[in-house]
Amino acid sequence: MVSPWMENGDLRSFLHSYPDADRYELCAQMADGVAYLHSQNIVHGDIKGANVLISKEFVLKIADFGTSALKDYTLAFAQTGTKPGMTIRWTASYLHTIMAGYD
């Protein structure tokens, strides 16, 4: 998978470098992005600062769709084992119960 270069890096690094950044605008862009994904029946599954990139125009882009789901199908681009890879800290609690059945 190829994507454009995101000059401002990930969201966490961006906010560290630009502490006065308009967080409301970033939140609005994030909400728009997630709403679009949901309108396409896509659930990202691992939204966190490291998976949100910022372009040189300060446009937010959602990245890392390795644990995403499209309706009933898993998008396993980077899955290396039988267990889906999720970031525990950022995963919805109900998914921990569901994923406990994977071996």
| pLDDT of 89 | 62
> Would you say residue 3 lies in a domain?
no
Mean pLDDT by 10 residues, the chain (103 residues): 84 95 95 87 79 92 70 50 58 62 55
Q: What is the dihedral of CA 66, 45, 26, 29, to 10 degrees?
A: 90
Average of per-residue pLDDT values in the chain: 76
Neighbours of 13 (CB within 10 A): 14
| pLDDT of 79 | 47
Task: List the structure tokens of 42.
Answer: 């896509």
| pLDDT of 4 | 81
Whether 46 sits among the annotated catalytic residues: the reply is: yes
| pLDDT of 15 | 96
Give the CATH number for residue 37: 1.10.510.10
Give 43's contacts (C-beta < 8 A, 6+ positions apart): 37, 68, 69
Which residue in 46, 64, 72, 103 is the catalytic one?
46
> Would you say residue 2 lies in a domain?
no
- Number of folded domains that form the chain: 1
pTM summary value: 0.64
Domain that holds residue 55: 11-99
